[in-house]
Amino acid sequence: MAADPSAADGARQAEAAGQALRIRLRGRLLEFLKFRVLAAQEGFFTGFGGAEATGGDPGPAASRVRQWLHGLGVREFDPLADDDLLAVLATARRLYLD
């Protein structure tokens, strides 16, 4: 029996929608971090650690970022994967530090 083409189209549309959400959330998080990083400079990043400080495991640093966001009452970025959170932090560091 042949696969249902509408099911495949639906799966592609769902994947595209998920990718669009991920990109949108990454952009919103970068904007959210902008003035916080500009104000605090390198000090902003010290509390989060990084993969290099945790033996290459992004989990602890990403967990600290999530805890910080939740402490501010921000849960909008919960759907982002740990790697996405850390990639946005790296981008913020690159763009906003002197």
Residues 67-77 pLDDT 10s = 999 999 999 99
Read off the pTM.
0.77
| pLDDT band with cut points at 50, 70 and 90 for residue 89 | very high
Q: What pLDDT, on a 0 to 100 scale, did the predictor assign at position 3?
A: 61
Q: What is the pLDDT of residue 11?
A: 84
Per DSSP, the residues of 53-76 read: GGTT--HHHHHHHHHHHHHTT--T
Residue 53 pLDDT grade (very low, low, confident, very high; cuts 50, 70, 90): very low
